[in-house]
Amino acid sequence: MSVEISASGEVADRLAAVGALRRLADRLEDAAVEEAMRSGWGWPQVAEALGVTRQAVYKKHAKRLIAAGVALRRRSG
C-alpha cells in the first residue's frame, strides 16, 4: 500500500492515530480475553482465536487476569 505524505504535520497525525489504534486494540483484546477466560475458555482456544501461540497469550494476559481474580484453567495431561 502506498500513501503519499505531503506535510510533516500530517505524518505526525498519522503516527499518533496508529498509536491510538494500537492502544484501543490492546484494550479490546484485554477485555475479550478476560471475558473468554471467565466464560471457561482455555488458553489454546483463546490463542487460536487471536492467531497466536498459547504461550504468547499466557505471557501477555495471565498476570493481569490473576490480579483481576479470574480463575485460570490448568492444562490437563
- In tens, the pLDDT along 26-63 reads 999 999 999 999 999 999 999 999 999 999 999 999 99
Residue 73 predicted with pLDDT over 80? no
Residues 6+ apart with CB under 8 A from 53: 47
d(C-alpha 16, C-alpha 13), whole Å: 5
Q: Tell me if 57 sits within 8 A of 47, measured CB to CB.
A: yes
Indicate whether this model's pTM tops 0.85.
no
**Cell matching residue 13:** 497525525
